[in-house]
């Protein structure tokens, strides 16, 4: 029988969750709600006695100091409207799972199949509101109808029907194992219909290649021996669609590009990936010679570099944009726990040491209508922030570095970048930890969560633009605790040498992980009937491609399997043997005795010809802004400090545990009041050593409006200059590229595809050029190429965006430098030159312009200066250092000053200028975002040594740190162009996002 | 000489085990063992073989039923495989043997929700207080000043001058007593060990963010009457070296962090009383 247990706060106890909802209703919906209280509901669908239910209610479910419990009687009272929100059937219910385990401990009896505990939350709303208002509150704030369901009752109806009716969100599918055969001997039009209706995201050409494969007489003969006919099964077609999806195969980066530049020069590029990204790493490594520190690049789930003789570092950054657009909380949570599995599944497995995250959103205060299906930017903001908060904090991994970037076009798709680094002993059981192999005969083992219908078609769906019909099934909820348990177990299994190979189960599910592993050894034989399911009723193809979370795939030698499974049992981790790896040359999938897929491994992995992609570069010309020369820029500076891209993100960052694991050295916030924004993070992953890991990033999508070449060059430079600012060494630093593009394939839907493709080519060219100059090998990366929204009439494409992350080392973390000025009397230096480069700056954006003069990177000079600066840091000569980026010198100076609680007097006449002297003016000196610059302070007694260390580089002393808490900047004509108290500058900077 | 042995229990979402063990070693323990709870439930390790128990920070079971609730339930009802006892029997024996336990953050929540704190009259399994959602409604990672109560019986805080500076990292850290009588008794017996205060460690504060969660009486830590059982929301293991401090690049700080004294006191107590 189904029973309801309701847990309510005692009347006199505050309800912070309810208060927060009330604030959000006022803030965003402007509705007069007087009070919001909340109640937790457990729907127990299991054979339990009354005594057992009461024990559960009174024990693990209820904190009797502040709460009271009600069994089968409603707890709600004193409200005008009640809203109950629960999950839809099949959506992962983490609290329900924990509740069920708690009951099992209590009774000592495991639940029977089909029994379960389901959770929901009641919101009791009081105030002068109508049913329509409550509907708005519910769908606008409380409930994402894609994954949740809701009930609204007014007080009278609630009283009349005595509470909320019991509902059990159980998946009720009939037991079936249907395998369909698909007839591909049809017209081209029909082939495309099959692809589209099935969310296969295969092109006509790809469908025709599959069609041709199934006409091959040898193929047919081989299939006949396995009892298969001439038509592909749904399992086979789905497996190919996953393997060949843009998400998994990176077809655009592998395609052949015909590029034409603005002068009409034509060039054929065979694979951007090979021609630029892979070549960057190869050429940098050759240049480094015996100083090369790369251990494993591009071939594994994450890149591996040397940290020192004893340890290796692993790093990967992923995106989870499409799911976050539909369900921001679940999408982002899955994003972070998903990327955790990448370093964990690299080499023999790595312990995770930190997360990074970068989010690109539209303005959360946007107040105009949006196309249907698009969630409001503030819901995306709130959901994504909370999803990553839960995923990171609950996994015990500090979130040490990140950004929030705003642009209206991210309303079409938000970008959610999640990165994770790991560390592993350089050798494990005598073998290099970054290597692994599979022997034919090794068992196919799946560990972790069970398989459900969640995440079906995630890989193929994210390979298309977001539209009205984007599939609900692609969305899922992550479960950090199941994953944490699995990691606790697997790291011990690793140290005992209990497996040969490990990899992540991510996009494409078993189809991708076992497919790729089969590529390692030449085949597999796997029985899908042996896979553990969340509920009955999944077809074999669904089992194969489900992206249900928290799973790893392993190759376990038969001699070790008993020890492996016994250990898993003790750690409470489910593991299943699904078959074995072979060298048969076939991806051989069974369901029970029946063969349901029989595909040559070579066809799966090499069967696809490269895409043909036209690209034509026509440089855009924007209106040349007429910047008004003023006498005083104080008001402009304050406006810039308050702008979304510059303002303090502390209200978000404080929600992320950035110190767990105990090795935090440079935290996200620093300075006299712990509120100045750090440039990069430094952590000590090994607590009895002072060697530190430094991580930083660069991102500047606005520059793409002028030229993606310079957008990319600036992103790479920004990442490195942030890294260098805190003291990162240039002798051991590697890069990671994450491309997020709008669809660059020329088509009816995308008539400017050749321009967008040219933008991609130029971005790659810059990546190669700058990384070569900076000795930055690329060790891993990812691309997400379909970041558009299109509902048939409105199209929103994101600005082409490159997130460039760097990871490296600081020899002695005790020498790290932070951005806050330290004491009055210190000398202020500006390293690097400023030019007439206001193009696409925050300042021009504020004034409503784009401009054309985008900052350009002089890599040779910058690299030499970064090296000299690093020596000065190691010699202890630098008191503070802050990188110049959004908002230029004025913003950097304001931030350093108010972070350090000391004023600053600066003189613009002393700032080094590059270019035509006639273009030099105060506004450009203050706000241009010229690349490669640092604002440094030095104690007067170190002046000589610092200037000697920097000798031969462009740098100038431009002022002094003062005791008076005021920022004063003198213009080139001798007048004061900025003068403001630190408190008012800081207030402007902190106000914008304080309450979000 | 007998080795002093500390144990840190991990598993099901505990996250701070490595730095907690590191702090134990720095504090003077000869050995600090990180034990997965499955090592205890299988009987491979027994609490009896250790002198100091760390219940450290994390998100046990994801805080799904309220922080540490599911683990409190597990501790009470889980059986040990090869012995005819429950885990709780080992834990009670450990306490009866006069051995110290330190609960940090999630570990403090666990101790309070099991009833191990404040445990009036040795009543170890009756919950009389709780730690609940921060008044601000959000998880917070920030540093706090903690005024020491020199009259408290806690063995962990001996020798602390005015107070200590530590990070908090929690969403459910607001201390609430079940009744005013219970709060009175906590105060009367000086069981409130540390309180949130301003930087001068003078007056306890109820103001955010110095008091980050709205704890009643600004309480950040309590102990039992013996002083051997203590729990606190801030993380002492997260400040054992000056580079952990958020302002170490601008202030003259001693090499050793404020949090280490708790582990040093535990090690000294064990060395002088238990081995």
Q: Where are the domains of chain A?
A: 2-160, 180-268+438-608
Q: Stretch A488-493: mean pLDDT, rounded? A: 95
Residue pair B217/B149 in contact by the 8 Å Cβ criterion: no
Q: Stretch B13-35: mean pLDDT, rounded? A: 97
Q: Stretch A87-114: mean pLDDT, rounded? A: 90
Residue B80's pLDDT band, with cuts at 50, 70 and 90, is confident
Structure tokens at A296: 């494993």
pLDDT tens digit sequence for A133-192: 999 999 888 988 878 899 999 999 999 999 998 888 887 766 677 899 999 999 999 999
Indicate whether A472 pLDDT > 60.
Answer: no
Predicted local confidence at residue A723, as pLDDT: 98
pLDDT tens digit sequence for A274-329: 999 999 999 999 999 999 999 999 989 999 999 999 999 999 999 999 888 888 88
If you search the block for the tokens 């916030």, which residue do you land on? A669
If you search the block for the tokens 């599918």, which residue do you land on? A173
Stretch (H or E) spanning B94: helix B87-96
Backbone angles phi, psi at A37, to 5 degrees: -120, 155
Q: Do residue A485 and residue B127 have CB atoms under 8 angstroms apart? A: no
Structure tokens at A320: 């989870």
Q: Do residue B128 and residue A571 have CB atoms under 8 angstroms apart? A: no
Residue pair A906/A961 in contact by the 8 Å Cβ criterion: no
User: Terminal CA-to-CA distance of chain B, rounded, Å?
Assistant: 8
Task: Say what percent of chain A tops pLDDT 90.
Answer: 79
Indicate whether A603 pLDDT > 70.
Answer: yes
Q: Stretch B206-218: mean pLDDT, rounded? A: 97
Residue pair A446/A82 in contact by the 8 Å Cβ criterion: no
Q: Stretch A343-361: mean pLDDT, rounded? A: 96
Q: Stretch A518-524: mean pLDDT, rounded? A: 91
Residue pair B8/B54 in contact by the 8 Å Cβ criterion: yes
Least confident stretch, A432-436, A602-606, A945-949: A602-606
Least confident stretch, A367-371, A558-562, A691-695, A881-885: A367-371
Q: Which residues contact B96 (CB under 8 A, 6 or more apart)?
A: none
Alpha-carbon distance of B148 to B160, in angstroms, equals 7
Best B234, B246, B253 member to test A by mutation, with max A CBs in 10 Å, is: B246
List the beta bridge partners of residue B8: B34, B54
Predicted local confidence at residue B79, as pLDDT: 84
The verdict on whether residue A290 carries a ligand-binding annotation is no
pLDDT tens digit sequence for A679-698: 999 999 999 999 999 999 99
Residue A244's pLDDT band, with cuts at 50, 70 and 90, is confident
pLDDT tens digit sequence for A845-893: 999 999 999 999 999 999 999 999 999 999 999 999 999 999 999 999 9
What value, to the nearest 5°, has the Cα angle with vertex A786 and ends A780 and A791?
Answer: 160
Closest CA to B28 of B58, B49, B51, B48: B51
Does residue A824 sit in helix, strand or coil? coil
pLDDT tens digit sequence for A53-97: 999 999 999 999 999 999 999 999 999 999 999 998 888 888 999
Q: Stretch A727-739: mean pLDDT, rounded? A: 98
Residue pair A874/A817 in contact by the 8 Å Cβ criterion: no
pLDDT tens digit sequence for A389-433: 999 999 999 999 999 999 999 999 999 999 999 999 999 999 999
Return residues 872-891 of A near B (CB < 8 Å): 880
Alpha-carbon distance of A484 to B63, in angstroms, equals 14
DSSP label of A233: B
Residue A115's pLDDT band, with cuts at 50, 70 and 90, is very high
Using alpha carbons, list the distances in angstroms from residue B195 to A473, B110, B131, B156: 49, 19, 14, 15
Residue pair A835/A932 in contact by the 8 Å Cβ criterion: no
Indicate whether A463 pLDDT > 60.
Answer: no
Q: Do residue B12 and residue A484 have CB atoms under 8 angstroms apart? A: yes
Stretch (H or E) spanning A234: helix A234-243
Alpha-carbon distance of A524 to A579, in angstroms, equals 8
Contacts of A402 in chain B (CB under 8 A): none
Residue pair A702/A758 in contact by the 8 Å Cβ criterion: no
Catalytic (active site) residue A30: no
Residue pair B73/A102 in contact by the 8 Å Cβ criterion: yes
Using alpha carbons, list the distances in angstroms from residue B1 to A489, B26, B273, B275: 35, 19, 14, 8
Domain A2-160 has CATH 3.30.1280.10: yes
Out of A480, A571, A662, the one facing B18 most closely (by C-beta) is: A662
Q: Do residue B70 and residue A662 have CB atoms under 8 angstroms apart? A: no
Closest CA to A210 of A246, A239, A189: A239
Is B82 or A290 the better-scoring residue by pLDDT? A290
Q: Do residue B15 and residue A660 have CB atoms under 8 angstroms apart? A: yes
Q: DSSP assignment of A311-340, as one string? A: EEEEEEEEE-HHHHHH-HHHHHHHHHHHHH
Return residues 630-659 of A near B (CB < 8 Å): 654-659
> B152 CA to chain A: closest CA distance, Å?
24
Best A659, A873, A902 member to test B by mutation, with max B CBs in 10 Å, is: A659
Residue pair B176/B130 in contact by the 8 Å Cβ criterion: yes
Predicted local confidence at residue A203, as pLDDT: 87
Q: Which residues contact A335 (CB under 8 A, 6 or more apart)?
A: A318, A319, A320, A323, A324, A387, A388, A391, A416, A418
Residue pair A834/A884 in contact by the 8 Å Cβ criterion: no
Alpha-carbon distance of B90 to A630, in angstroms, equals 76
For chain B, list the domains and their CATH numbers: 5-273 (3.40.50.880)
Indicate whether A468 pLDDT > 70.
Answer: no
Q: Stretch B15-28: mean pLDDT, rounded? A: 98
Catalytic (active site) residue A320: yes
Contacts of A814 in chain B (CB under 8 A): 243
Catalytic (active site) residue B187: no
Alpha-carbon distance of A908 to A380, in angstroms, equals 41
Tell how strand A594-600 and strand A586-591 pair up: antiparallel
pLDDT tens digit sequence for B228-248: 999 999 999 999 999 999 999
Residue A460's pLDDT band, with cuts at 50, 70 and 90, is low
Q: In what order do the strands lie in the sheet with A311-319?
A: A294-296, A303-306, A311-319, A415-425, A351-361, A399-406
Residue pair A728/A874 in contact by the 8 Å Cβ criterion: no
If you search the block for the tokens 């600090």, which residue do you land on? B32
Q: Which residues contact A848 (CB under 8 A, 6 or more apart)?
A: none
Arch. (CATH architecture) of A180-268+438-608: Alpha-Beta Complex (3.90)
Structure-derived torsion over alpha carbons of residues A761, A767, A772, A778, reported in degrees to the nearest 10: -120
Out of B22, B142, B169, the one facing A687 most closely (by C-beta) is: B22
């Amino acid at each position: 029988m189904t029973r309801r247990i309701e847990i309510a706060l005692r009347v006199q106890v505050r309800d912070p969750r309810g208060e927060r909802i009330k604030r959000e209703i006022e803030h965003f919906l402007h509705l007069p709600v007087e009070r919001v209280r909340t109640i937790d509901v457990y729907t127990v669908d299991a054979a339990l006695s009354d005594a057992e239910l009461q024990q559960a209610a009174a024990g693990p479910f209820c904190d009797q100091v502040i709460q009271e419990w009600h069994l089968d009687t409603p707890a709600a009272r004193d409200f005008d409207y009640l809203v109950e929100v629960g999950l839809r059937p099949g959506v992962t219910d983490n609290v329900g799972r924990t509740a069920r385990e708690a009951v099992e401990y209590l009774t000592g009896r495991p639940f029977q199949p089909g029994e379960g505990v389901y959770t929901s939350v009641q919101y009791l709303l009081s105030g002068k509101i109508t049913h329509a208002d409550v509907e708005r509150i519910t769908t606008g704030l409380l409930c994402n109808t894609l994954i949740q369901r809701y009930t609204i009752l007014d007080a009278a109806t609630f009283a009349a029907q005595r509470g909320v009716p019991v509902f059990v969100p159980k998946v009720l599918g009939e037991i079936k194992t249907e395998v369909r055969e698909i007839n591909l001997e049809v017209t081209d039009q029909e082939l495309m219909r099959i692809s589209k209706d099935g969310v296969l995201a295969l092109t006509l050409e790809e469908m025709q290649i599959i069609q041709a494969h199934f006409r091959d007489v040898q193929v047919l003969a081989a299939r006949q021996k396995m009892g298969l006919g001439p038509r592909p099964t749904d399992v086979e077609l789905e497996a190919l669609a996953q393997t060949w999806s843009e998400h998994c195969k990176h077809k655009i980066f592998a395609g052949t590009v015909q590029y034409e530049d603005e002068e009409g020069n034509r060039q054929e590029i065979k694979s951007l990936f090979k021609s630029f990204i892979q070549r960057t790493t190869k050429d940098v490594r050759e240049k480094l010679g015996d100083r090369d520190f790369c251990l494993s690049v591009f071939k594994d789930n994450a890149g591996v570099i040397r940290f020192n003789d004893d340890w290796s570092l692993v790093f990967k950054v992923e995106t989870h944009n499409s799911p976050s657009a539909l369900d921001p909380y679940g999408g982002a949570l899955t994003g972070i726990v998903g990327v955790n599995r990448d370093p964990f599944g690299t080499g023999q497995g790595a312990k995770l040491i930190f997360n990074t995250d970068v989010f690109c959103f539209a303005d959360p205060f946007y107040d105009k209508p949006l196309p249907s299906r698009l969630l409001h930017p503030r819901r995306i903001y709130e959901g994504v922030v909370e999803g990553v908060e839960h995923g990171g904090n609950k996994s015990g991994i500090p979130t040490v570095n990140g950004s929030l970037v705003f642009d209206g076009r991210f309303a079409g798709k938000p970008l959610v970048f999640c990165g994770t680094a790991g560390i592993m002993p350089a050798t494990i059981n005598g073998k290099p930890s970054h290597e692994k192999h599979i022997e034919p005969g090794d068992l196919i083992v799946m560990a972790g969560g069970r398989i459900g219908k969640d995440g079906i078609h995630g890989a193929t769906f994210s390979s298309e633009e977001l539209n009205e019909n984007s599939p609900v099934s692609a969305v899922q909820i992550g479960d950090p605790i199941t994953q944490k348990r699995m990691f606790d177990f697997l790291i011990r299994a690793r140290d005992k040498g209990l497996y040969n190979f490990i990899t992540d189960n991510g996009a494409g599910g078993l189809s991708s992980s076992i497919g790729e592993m089969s590529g390692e050894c030449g085949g597999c034989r796997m029985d899908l009937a042996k896979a553990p399911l969340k509920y009955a009723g999944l077809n074999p193809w669904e089992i194969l491609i489900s992206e249900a979370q928290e799973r790893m795939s392993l190759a376990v030698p038969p001699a070790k399997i008993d020890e492996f499974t016994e250990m898993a049992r003790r750690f409470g981790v489910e593991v299943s043997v699904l078959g074995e790896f072979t060298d048969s040359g076939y991806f051989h999938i069974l369901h029970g005795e029946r063969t349901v897929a029989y595909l040559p491994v070579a066809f799966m992995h090499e069967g696809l010809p490269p895409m043909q992609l036209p690209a034509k570069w026509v440089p855009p010309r924007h209106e040349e802004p007429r910047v008004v020369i003023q006498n005083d820029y104080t008001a402009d500076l304050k406006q810039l400090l308050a702008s979304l891209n510059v303002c303090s993100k502390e209200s978000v960052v404080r929600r992320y545990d950035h110190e767990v694991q105990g090795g935090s050295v440079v935290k996200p916030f620093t300075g006299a009041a712990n509120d100045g924004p750090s440039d990069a993070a430094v952590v000590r992953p090994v607590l009895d050593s002072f060697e530190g890991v430094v991580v930083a990033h660069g991102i500047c999508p606005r520059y793409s409006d002028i030229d993606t070449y310079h957008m990319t060059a600036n992103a790479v430079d920004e990442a490195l200059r942030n890294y260098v600012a805190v003291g990162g060494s240039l002798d051991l630093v590697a890069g990671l590229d994450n491309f997020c593009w709008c669809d660059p394939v020329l088509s009816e839907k995308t008539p400017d595809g050749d321009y967008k493709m040219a933008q991609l080519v130029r971005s790659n060219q810059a990546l190669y050029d700058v990384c070569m100059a900076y000795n930055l090998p690329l060790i891993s990366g990812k691309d997400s190429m379909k970041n558009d929204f299109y509902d048939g009439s409105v199209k929103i494409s994101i600005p082409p965006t490159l997130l460039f992350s760097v990871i490296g080392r600081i020899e002695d973390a005790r020498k790290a430098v932070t951005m806050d000025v330290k004491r009055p009397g210190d000398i202020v230096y500006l390293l690097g030159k400023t030019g007439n480069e206001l193009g696409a700056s925050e300042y021009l954006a504020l004034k409503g312009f784009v401009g054309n003069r985008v900052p350009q990177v002089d890599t040779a000079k910058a690299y030499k200066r970064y090296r000299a600066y690093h020596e000065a840091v190691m010699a202890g000569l630098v008191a503070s250092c802050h990188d110049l980026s959004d908002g230029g010198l004025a913003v950097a100076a304001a931030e350093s000053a108010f972070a350090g609680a000391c004023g600053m007097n600066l003189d613009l006449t002393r700032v080094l200028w590059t270019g035509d002297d006639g273009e030099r003016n105060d506004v450009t000196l203050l706000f241009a975002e010229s690349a490669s610059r640092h604002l440094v302070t030095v104690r007067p007694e170190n002046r000589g040594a610092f200037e000697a260390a920097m000798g031969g580089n462009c740098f100038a002393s431009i002022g002094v740190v003062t005791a008076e808490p005021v920022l004063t900047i003198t213009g080139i004509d001798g007048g004061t162009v900025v003068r403001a108290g630190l408190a008012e500058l800081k207030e402007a900077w902190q106000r914008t996002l304080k309450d979000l | 000489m007998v080795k002093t042995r500390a144990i840190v229990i991990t598993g099901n979402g505990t996250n701070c085990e490595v730095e907690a063990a590191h702090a134990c070693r720095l504090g003077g323990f000869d050995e600090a063992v990180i034990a997965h709870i499955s090592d205890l439930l299988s009987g491979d390790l027994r609490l009896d073989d250790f002198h100091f128990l760390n219940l450290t920070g994390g998100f046990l079971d994801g805080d799904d039923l309220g922080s540490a609730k599911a683990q409190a339930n597990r501790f009470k009802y889980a059986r040990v495989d090869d012995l005819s006892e429950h885990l709780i029997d080992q834990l009670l024996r450990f306490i009866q043997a006069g051995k110290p336990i330190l609960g940090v953050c999630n570990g403090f929540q666990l101790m309070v929700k099991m009833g191990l704190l404040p445990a009036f009259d040795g009543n170890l399994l009756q919950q009389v207080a709780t730690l609940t959602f921060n008044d601000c409604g959000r998880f917070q990672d920030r540093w706090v000043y903690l005024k020491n109560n020199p009259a408290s019986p806690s063995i962990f805080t001996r020798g602390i001058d005015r107070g200590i500076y530590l990070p908090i990292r929690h969403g459910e850290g607001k201390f609430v007593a079940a009744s005013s009588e219970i709060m009175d008794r906590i105060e009367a017996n000086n069981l409130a060990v540390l309180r949130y205060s301003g930087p001068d460690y003078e007056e306890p504060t109820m103001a955010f963010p110095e008091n980050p969660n709205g704890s009643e009486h600004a309480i950040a830590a309590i102990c039992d009457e013996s002083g051997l059982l203590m729990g606190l929301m801030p993380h002492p293991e997260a400040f054992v070296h000056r580079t952990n401090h958020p302002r170490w690049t601008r202030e003259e700080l001693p090499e050793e962090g404020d949090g280490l004294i708790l582990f040093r006191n535990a090690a000294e107590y064990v060395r002088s009383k238990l081995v």
